[in-house]
Structure 1
């Protein structure tokens, strides 16, 4: 699923797991694997953006968010990461780069690479509201559900 080349099997599977958690496989199937999804989308009513030139910045008052993309990045953080990572667009591979940066910020990359899946999810829960223990008051997926998504994507649990 990730579009950034050269990723390890576990990092690629972990990125896919985040997208499955945030977007869900049904919505991934009716979009560009989630990369063009705007928060508030459903399979029946997908809100998709057409241009990857920049973060779409479409605020959804029903959910009080402007999250977008496969990893549901908030618009307010887009400009920081655009500058910090010298991003040229919101293309899928650039979204992958931001997600990897967030994983590193959470000090979870080593756990991801080592296949310490539960620890990696625990460390990243502050960045993605759908992860167990995130505490944002939104739907949180179970660790078992996410572990299946991870192994289905080719990840290896140590």
Structure 2
């Protein structure tokens, strides 16, 4: 079976920048996604289209195609109580910021007693990154998965 729209794809990945590994699924479980439903970077999804089990793909993405360009005006002052991920914050730490649109990853720049200055750029903004992918399994999506817009099961969403 080839990867096409409404395929559920299970894959391993390694993310790197300038040859330095940043993260990988290889020591754990592969990930699962529903192809054609905007769950991957568009250029990664395009490279996976038509691939079969066992295929390996390497994709390098410019900042605009990955985590975005680095914005110089992305420093915001927020209440410390809205940060999660640690009990005590220090500059340079990555935090999750609770917003009305959901959680987003930020970098702590400066910390006070009640407020913190955070950089709202994604930690990989402005960086060219590479993904090494290996297709592990492919199957047709169920009607529920298509209706929900995401894959269900191990490595996907369970509900």
TM, length-normalised to structure 2: 0.25
- Structure showing greater radius of gyration is 2
Structure with the bigger percentage of strand: 2
